[in-house]
Amino acid sequence: MKFNEEKYIDLILYILFKCSNKPNLGKTVLCTVMYFIDFNYYEIYNRFLTKETYIKSRRGIKPKHFRKITENLISKKQLFMRKEPYYNRTIHKYYPTVIPTLKFSPDELMVINSCIDRLTDSNASTITKYAWRDKPLTKANMNDEINYEDVFLRVNE
């Protein structure tokens, strides 16, 4: 299976539609939540949701297609981005301008909503520290792709 751009776009719009009112939900939190959705779905069902490629970077998790897709959505007026103050930082906040279509299966929605409920109240520092403890991320080398297969090394805590 190759990268599923349509599902990736749906996922971005769905998360933002549900959470854009949260003042902490900037680019870092959004990208990290998407990572956990993709990897948790793979862990549970042994199938890819979006098959996005995630890169381990100094700042956390960097989705390979995020920038290109968000820029495209902004140019099509389906999304807009605004830099906003958040405590002593400036975050990149994204707002959907369209209502997302729910093209997700019940299994997909269960994983997506679980991650949204559990993670979207975190700020960038907290969620990044949490992600750094996730086995797939700890196994990856800096600036390398994070391997989906490493989810099976997770130990229930």
CATH of the domain at 29: 1.10.10
* pLDDT tens-digit series, residues 25-58: 999 999 999 999 999 999 999 999 999 999 999 8
Residue 157 has pLDDT above 80, yes or no: no
Count of domains in the chain? 1
106-122: per-residue pLDDT in tens?
999 999 999 999 999 99
Give a yes or no: residue 51 inside a domain: yes
Average pLDDT of the segment spanning 87-106: 93
Residue 69 neighbours by CB distance under 10 Å:
17
* 147, part of any domain: no
Residue 101: predicted pLDDT = 84
Q: For residue 13, name the pLDDT band (cuts at 50, 70, 90).
A: very high
Position 155 in a domain: no
In a domain, 69, yes or no: yes
- Report yes or no on 23 lying in a domain: yes
Q: Residue 45 corresponds to which amino acid? A: Y
Structure tokens at 58: 């100094």
**Whether the model pTM is above 0.85:** yes
Q: For position 37, what pLDDT does the model report?
A: 98
Question: Quick check: is 149 in a domain?
Answer: no
Residues 6+ apart with CB under 8 A from 43: 151, 152, 154
pLDDT at 64 exceeding the cut of 80: yes
**Nearest of 6, 1, 12 to residue 47 by alpha carbon:** 1
Work out the number of other CB atoms within 10 angstroms of the CB of residue 95.
12
Residue 134: is its pLDDT beyond 80? Answer: yes
| Residues spanned by the domain of 118 | 5-142
Torsion of CA 135, 127, 11, 36, to 10 degrees: 20
DSSP annotation string for the chain: ----HHHHHHHHHHHHHHHTT-TT-BHHHHHHHHHHHHHHHHHHHSS-SS---EEEETTEEEETTHHHHHHHHHHTTSEEEEEEEETTEEEEEEEESSPPP----HHHHHHHHHHHHHHTTS-HHHHHHHHHTSHHHHHSPTTSBPPGGGGGG----
